[in-house]
Amino acid sequence: MPLVAGVDTSTQSCKIVVRDAATGELVRSGSAKHPDGTEVHPDHWWTAFTRAAEAAGGLADVAAIAVGGQQHGMVVLDTEGRVIRDALLWNDTRSAGAAESLITELGDGDRAAGAQRWADAVGSVLVASLTVTKLRWLHDSEPENAAKVAAVALPHDWLSWRIAGYGPAGDPSAPLGPDLNALFTDRSDASGTGYYDAQGADGAGEYRPDLLRMALGRDDVVLPRVLGPAESGGVAHPSVAGADVDGGALIGPGAGDNAGAALGAGMTPGDVAISIGTSGVVSAVAPRRTADGSGAINGFADATGNALMLAVTLNAARVLDAAREVLGADFDELASLALRAPAGSDGLVLVPYLEGERTPNRPDATGTLHGIRLATSTRPHLARAYVEGMLCGLADGLDALRAQGVPVERVMLIGGAAQSPAVQEIAPQVFGLPIAVPEPGEYVADGAARQAAWVLATAEKAGSEPTTDAGATAVPEPPAWSATIATTLAADPRPVIREQYARVRDLV
């Protein structure tokens, strides 16, 4: 059977999985680190991709490949395909002021009206994460760089473009040169830019050049063409992938990381995933997106044609990292300590805005610790307060989804921190719901691989040619890979945890 590759180009690293296209069985994998920081030159992503591919045994034998990637990052290219300045990542908050300006401007001076208009237009009220705010920051703060912009891409778009053989003029790793019109993306990642309406054009989706113009001052730049869920963007350059496969390796449209993870986990409408990684994400698949003017919920697209509702926190697994640093504990000891303290940690409450926050939108906030007494100044109490604070922020996101009428039928806990015994015991107490914990996996890379298999099957069904119209194929669903549920945690509601947190979360 043919092999497919899925790539996760995340904030922290590049991970590649190679899987059997029919069964989803893992054949091999590889990874490589990305540099730290909130602004990174994309060349580091290319270097990490090539190293991860080498660690995975090469990609010459894969028949299709797709890329899932960190959302929102701003990659700006000049006419020669060169990166103009380091990419601003999703977690760079310098454009918070730009976000507020754009909200007020669309509301003709009325912020509340502007917030609702943005939600109606693109599904999200602007925060510093979204690409459109970073373009306004570029326009205002670096006008000389803004004037050079010929194309704007997202991290996964840029890496897919490089896999196809395109890139900066004169770069030997980019034999096809700087064809900016060869850039492509998908609806899920485009829906997080702030200038793409996934429900526009009668549900087909469309860019909003008027909103792009508000940010950058012009709209005469190349934006990646938006592909359908099973549509191929082209063929990988044989120096990168598919050299041993007849016709080469098809490149899938890719996806934003959350949409990729939803596809990898097999989520369908009614499913909610709580992901505890670098960021914390509460995501739900639904038939249509919301338009939440409060900003608590982002209404994006998923990777299958549905909507993906997201509540995102900047502070998730890194809260546990901070706790380990404060307590001088490793991962296992932190969990053990946290489980020695009672639910509610005897009134010790952490509001974990350690790097500002996105939901709620408080980019300049700091974390606060409430209820410090002699009795709560113990390592177990501190450990538990950090875990509970992190989970309470995510529980607020779940409440916001419900308030928008998003159906919640099944809750899954994923991400690296989901394997912590303390997180698994405390989460059912905070959420008050039964929670399914799938087997650990690289869900973004797995979702990208599943998409690659879908693209391959669609092309084969259409006569072994890349489809040009995703809606005209006879392969309506992705391959039936499924995540294995390792355990189901019984609901164990402890209201004191949420009640204490609610009393202090706004005292920042």
Catalytic residues: 257
Neighbours of 6 (CB within 10 A): 34
CA distances from 72 to 91, 132, 304, 374, 401 (A): 9, 9, 19, 44, 21
| CA–CA distance, 345 with 426 (Å, rounded to integer) | 11
Helix/strand/coil percentages in the chain, nearest 5: 35, 20, 45
| CA–CA distance, 495 with 199 (Å, rounded to integer) | 38
Beta bridge partners of 14: 9, 32
DSSP secondary structure of 77-107: E-TTS-B-SPEEPTT--TTHHHHHHHHHHHT
DSSP secondary structure of 299-323: EEE-SSSSEEEEEEES-SHHHHHHH
Q: Please give the single-letter amino acid code of residue 8.
A: D
Residue 308, token pair as written in the block: 């993906």
Residue 71 annotated as binding site: yes
Q: Count the residues in the chain.
A: 508
Residue 302, token pair as written in the block: 């998923």
DSSP 8-state code for residue 330: -
- The CA dihedral of 91, 96, 102, 108, to the nearest 10 degrees, is 140
| CA–CA distance, 247 with 118 (Å, rounded to integer) | 43
396 Cα distance to chain centroid: 19
Q: Cα-flanking dihedrals φ and ψ of residue 120, to 5°?
A: -65, -40
| CA–CA distance, 477 with 499 (Å, rounded to integer) | 43
| CA–CA distance, 423 with 278 (Å, rounded to integer) | 15
| CA–CA distance, 358 with 71 (Å, rounded to integer) | 14
Neighbours of 332 (CB within 10 A): 11
| CA–CA distance, 137 with 128 (Å, rounded to integer) | 10
Q: Cα-flanking dihedrals φ and ψ of residue 428, to 5°?
A: -65, -25
Which one, of 485, 292, 486, 296, lies nearest residue 395 by Cα?
A: 296
| CA–CA distance, 256 with 189 (Å, rounded to integer) | 5
| CA–CA distance, 397 with 394 (Å, rounded to integer) | 5
Binding-site residue numbers are 71-72
Binding-site residue numbers for substrate are 71-72
